[in-house]
Structure 1
Amino acid sequence: MKKQQGFTLIELLIVVAIIGVLSAIAIPAYKEQAVKADASSGVATLRSLLTNTDLHIQETAKFPTTLDQIGANTSMSSLGLVTIDGTPSGANGTLKFAYGKKSALSGADAKFVRAADGWKCTLANIPTTLGITADDVKGCN
């Protein structure tokens, strides 16, 4: 007669418990990284337009009034919309990324504001439940 080999029920339950503990730790960490990735993606989209905007200002001495002037469009990213926020004043103005429904940051905004002292990045309307700040977003600090 052959000897049967296999795992006991206790061994299988221990493995399932270990997998449960690991996933309880990993899933929240993954979600936090996904939120930070969304935020960084919006900031990177705007950052890619800064050089074109500076070149436009250098050539015309005015902040662009449309995205076409800097080789951009509103739907550059699937995560949200790019716009020129407000009315530019001379060489100063604001580029804005509004996070859309596909993003974990839906309703939040990333902005690059150009003033006499250069570009400044800000994030606004980030849901407090996400637990991130502008300092956590690469490219915006």
Structure 2
Amino acid sequence: MKSNKGFSLIELMIAVAIIGILASVAYPSYVQYVAKGARADGLAALLEVANLQEQYYLDNRVYATDMTQLGLASDPYVVENGFYSVDSTGTGSFVAIATALGAQASRDTSCTSIQITDTGVRTPQECWE
């Protein structure tokens, strides 16, 4: 009697189908996780800009109209990972807006634009959670 060692084609195809099903379930969760991680950098940059705006207001009695006045490298300021650009407008009040760039804009469609104001209003609320 001859002993066969290894896998048959049917066994291999069943294993490939199981891996495909698992990947189709796991991939959307992974994309959402990556988008939320990149969003955290955008939120941190917004809070940094809001803090810098308040410091600028204490010194000058107006809010900065240009990001370079806050000591940031460019206007608009692009976060370290490159997924968000942050811009702020102001004089008597300010609104800081983080806009998703590149792949983040398509991955995180509900949070392509995130804002914070001088009064602390954060929109859209679901992006800040």
1:78-122 Cα distance to aligned partner (Å, 9 max, x none): 22322123x431xx211111222342247931111012xxx2221
Calculate percent identity across the aligned residue pairs: 22
State how far apart, in whole Å, the 2-side matches of 1:96 and 1:22 are.
38
Q: Which portions of structure 1, spanning 4 or more consecutive aligned residues, are displaced by more than 3 angstroms?
A: 1-4
Cα shift at 1:29: 1.2
SS in 2 for 1:62: coil
Rate the CA distance shift 1:102–1:32 in 2: closer, same or farther, 3 A.
closer
1:114 aligns with 2:118: yes
Pick the aligned partner of 1:76 from 60, 78, 82: 78
Contact 1:94 / 1:114 at 8 angstroms: preserved in 2?
Answer: yes
The normalised TM-score by structure 1 is 0.70
Q: What is the aligned-residue RMSD (CA, Å)?
A: 2.5
Tell me the equivalent position of 2:37: 37
The normalised TM-score by structure 2 is 0.76
Tell me the equivalent position of 1:66: 66
Unaligned runs of 5+ in 1: 124-133
Cα shift at 1:22: 0.2
Q: More strand by proportion, 1 or 2?
A: 1
State how far apart, in whole Å, the 2-side matches of 1:101 and 1:8 are.
44
Q: More helix by proportion, 1 or 2?
A: 2
Tell me the equivalent position of 1:11: 11
Figure out how many residues of one structure are paired with residues of the other and give that number: 122
